[in-house]
Structure 1
Amino acid sequence: MSSDLLEALNALEKQKGISRDVLVEAIETALVTAYRRNFNQAQNVRVDLNMDAGTMKVFSRKDVVEEIEDDRLQISLEEARKVNPLYEIGDVLEEEVTPRNFGRIAAQTAKQVVTQRVREAERGMIYDEYVDRQDDIVNGVVERLDPRNIYVSLGKVEAVLPQNEQIPSETYRPHDRIKVYITKVERAARGPQVFVSRTHPGLLRRLFEMEVPEIYDGIVEIKSIAREAGDRSKISVYAHDEDVDPVGSCVGARGNRVQTIVDELSGEKIDIVEWSENPEIFVANALSPAKVLDVLVNEEDKSTTVVVPDYQLSLAIGKRGQNARLAAKLTGWKIDIKSEADATELGIYPRTVTDEPEEQWEDGEWTEDGADLYDEQGTGEELEPEDIDLYEDVQEDDESKED
């Protein structure tokens, strides 16, 4: 074996991270196949590579038996003991059968094996690198386009941007630099296959993590995202530090933080609202920029009825129902929007009694169980029991309180 091959194996071990032992084992296996193919030998053989001495030898292997059935694979005990008297039945006799011109064949075979293993190792390393970056954002360059897919170069690999993952309003041209979100990495015969997206909600999440230090540091958390890519998105945020304004942190000074993300997404509108564990507050926030008068919650079927001023009904619903649809996705609650006039006609607004009277009447003096009754205009005047539904479990002997 030439010293050049030995040096090449050592270099590959350092540069590509491929173990020399793995390469040697692969070469030995390939040389066995080459020996049988080129010398029409069907016997069992083994190739031994001595990396220190730089030598290569081929050994035939025969089982020691009492009766020979195939002389290419077996040898009698008598013949075996002529080689070494210590052989017994069941042992394996090895005999060197290295051809004179096997060196040239070995060199060609070794080159092919090394090339193939290097290619496989590189593919494996690329796969390991990008599978770890799944659900992450990367920079890419548009390489080429076809009627269905766009192919984006990520440096070491070419990613596929399917048609359904492209923003409809965007136009892609070769050499354009874009940010993409890795959705899936698969092994393939020609190397790892990487699939990316421009419409995935995760892209929006990662962009905010890059632009807003408070999100990256965990002070502000993105609770949910609802996105119709290329048109409009809503995100809900929550601050773990009460001194931090989560919405203001995401918007930035003069809106510079959110504007950077809007520009990256080709003008996609982004509504940032504050998350709340109270569904009434959360749903009202999610319908921004519409003003909400009241939110009635039905816990059983997780639905809400939202009352808005008459002149803001169309704003609350949005173009083709987009604002209401995104708000429902963002909150996870069904949302039925009613105008103030319709809600009043149905008798669901204004609410005359609330489960939490202290939130509805702050100046009045309420009993512990909330049995006091006040008119819905908020004058503080007491009403007779027959004029309004009473709270459950009202004590009959409760005395009315003066305003």
Structure 2
Amino acid sequence: MTQPQQEPLPAGHISGFAALAGRLADAVGAVVLGKDEVVRLTLTALFAQGHVLLEDVPGVGKTTLARALASTVHGQWRRIQFTPDLLPSDVSGVTIFNQATRGFEFHPGPVFANIVIADEINRASPKTQSALLEVMEERTVTVDGVRHTVPRPFLVVATQNPVEMDGTYRLPEAQLDRFLMKLSVGYPDEAVEIEVLRGANLRSPDNLEPVTDTATVGEMVRMAQQVHVADPLYAYAVRLAAATRTHPQVRVGVSPRGVIALTRAACAYALINGRGYVLPEDLKALLGPVFAHRILLTPDAQLRGTTSDEVLADAMRTVPVPLPGGGGGTTPPPPANGRASARVAPAPPATTGYAAPAQSNGTTHTSRQAQHTPAQHHGDAHTPAQPRGAAHTAARLHEGGPATAQSVSNVRAAARGRLFGFGGLRPLPGS
């Protein structure tokens, strides 16, 4: 079934999105050195309305990365230090009887914030961990039968240490499936570690200035939902997930929720890379971070030392990459470590077939065009769009001309550009 067509994003909005995402990445990268791809993937999860699980050994910057991201977004953020004695009410909130008002009042917990840092999440009991299930999936918290909505945007960045097992509780599969990505920070190389030592007292997340606010992030989330995904790429994502379910060394493969997470993340990742459409390289780059933690291996595979990355490498080898014309191709062998690179090759021209098709009203959009020529109505001549998405017919409205549905839509789009800085009449600073 063909997906309903929607108007592609203007080129000015796409470039503005990429510029602002780049400034956010630079701000976080000033504190977390040498981990540019991890920072970009964390931003991808933010714009895709997902959550991130950072798993690595102590002292590599997991909590610092989460705090730096929270500091760059001018919104509410809270940190929850998970311990064995932490209660579910300490996370979600509690209803208390107020003697002055003779009524019950809800006192929200630390989960009511835009960015929640769940530090050492595997140290809390399973009962406390389950308090995050509802809010991570539905963005609501139910206390005493009453549902409360958390602020938007909402991002949970959880950290855990996979090495130390004393006093920890393994995360259940249901909760792992709620995380859009599972990332590993890793040790820095020698040059980066020396640079860290030189500025150890200067680089702190507390010294970061906010780069943007939650309203702008919310607009960026809505833009990511408008990125074009060609039908063959939907089929490609489904076949990759199906390959994990039928793999002989897999007990439980990727669920439909995982396929949805992959396509959502690919849309945000494409915008960060300055494109309004998804490429197969986007799906392959995100396959490891999005799919690996959702795969359960058989006991025999675990004894043999097989990893989820190796299963995904087999899937990329066996599932052909769809060609722009609808045909299939072959996928080159993945790297030796079994995980696709997080770097995306430069985008080919929009004529490859993955970009959004021309609209039925006569409007033609490509990712490399900054002008928009609308279809004519009743012989009226429309002023061509200016570079970076300027309003098409604002001059006609000021002159008292008739306001068509197309002109009203264009003026509203320009107003959104002025409000959030995505192209329109005012370009983003530094873009």
Q: Taking structure 2 as the reference length, what is the TM-score of the superposition?
A: 0.20
Whose RCO is larger (CA < 8 A, sep 6+)? Answer: 2
Name which one, 1 or 2, has greater alpha-carbon Rg. 1
Q: Taking structure 1 as the reference length, what is the TM-score of the superposition?
A: 0.21
Name the structure with the higher strand share. 1
